[in-house]
Each structure stands twice: as C-alpha cells, then as structure tokens.
Amino acid sequence: MQNARGRVAPAGRARLTPIGTRSKSQARRTIARGLLQPLAETPSMRSADRPLSPHLQVYRWQLTMTLSILHRATGLALGAGTILLVWWLVAGAAGPGPYSGVTHFLGSWIGLVLLFGWTASLAYHLCNGIRHLVWDTGHALDLRSTYVGGWTVVAAAAALTIVAWVVGLGGWVH
C-alpha cells in the first residue's frame, strides 16, 4: 500500500493514519483526545466475534432468495441432463442396439424421473431467464413486481412442464 508521499509501506503493517485524519500527528491528537481508537484496538475489527459473511440465520427466507438458488440449481441440472441427451444422441448414431438400450433406460421409472426433472429444470430456467431479461431492461425491479414475477415464473414453469409431458406422453402412447 502506498502512503501519501508515494512510498510503499512494509508488508504486514497497518495503515499509519486512520481514515478521517490527514497526518500521523493529527491521528495521535485525535486518539489522545479519545475521539478515535487506534486500528489495532478497534473492537469492530476483531474477526473472531463475527462471521465472515452473513449466514442464513441472519436473513429471513424469502421467495426471491429461493428462486435465485433454484435458478442456479436448475442450471446445474441442465448441465447434468445434457449428458443424458448426448448419451441418447450418440446411441442413436451408433445403431439400433445401443439406441434400444438407452430408450429402455429412459422408459424405466428412474429414466422418467430424470427426464421429468430435466424438463422442469429447462422450463424454470427458461422462464426465469426471461424474467432476468426483463430486469435487464430496468423494468419490474420494485419489490411487488419481483414477487409477482417470481410467482409467474413458478406457474409458467409448472404449466410448460405439464404441457410438455402431456404432449410427449400423448405421442408416446400412440
């Protein structure tokens, strides 16, 4: 760190003049009068008494927090689901034998659960991405609009997932 004269302070040394003072002598006078404590003795500087960052105990759980975490989680789920998609595509290119094995797995109960989760993740991530695009334009940033938009995203994602599965299963059964 450089001081006022452009000199670099030795490593490990604290700031010589506390913030709000212009010189060492002014800092000493201010400290002597009891108006300011030296940096090393400031109670608020002790890191052992406080967490490094706020934890969930500090915040009340909110819809916006949940949707933000869910957006990140669905992004991860889409990444994992892409592996499933690539497996299906490679099996289709490899021939009828490997393709039959993949479709058999995807038709099992665990395969259907994975596909449903991937579909729901895709729908939610898409809808929430559109909400973020609206925010990028500077609209719907007030508290009421964020909650209305959040519930709209949840409802739209659920509707898109249901429609996709009704259409998909309708075509699969026939």
Q: Give CB contacts under 8 A, 24+ apart, made by 64-73.
A: 64/146, 64/147, 64/150, 67/128, 67/150, 67/153, 67/154, 70/124, 70/128, 71/124, 71/125, 71/128, 73/121
Cα–Cα distance measured from residue 95 to residue 113, given in angstroms and rounded to the nearest whole number: 25
Place of tokens 């719907």: 140
Domain ranges of the chain: 1-49, 63-173
Q: What is the pTM of this model?
A: 0.66
Helix crossing, 109-136 with 63-94: angle to 10°? Answer: 130
Tens-digit pLDDT profile for residues 119-138:
999 999 999 999 999 999 99
> Which residues are paired to 8 by β-bridges?
2
* Structure token pair of residue 130: 């559109």
What CATH class is the domain 63-173?
mainly alpha
Task: Give residue-wise pLDDT tens across range 54-84.
Answer: 666 677 788 999 999 999 999 999 999 999 9
Other CB atoms within 10 Å distance of the CB of residue 114: 17
Instruction: State the pLDDT at residue 59.
Output: 73
How many CB atoms are closer than 10 A to CB 128? 22
pLDDT of residue 54: 66
- What are the residue ranges in the chain where pLDDT is below 50? 14, 41
Helix (H) or strand (E) holding 149: helix 143-173
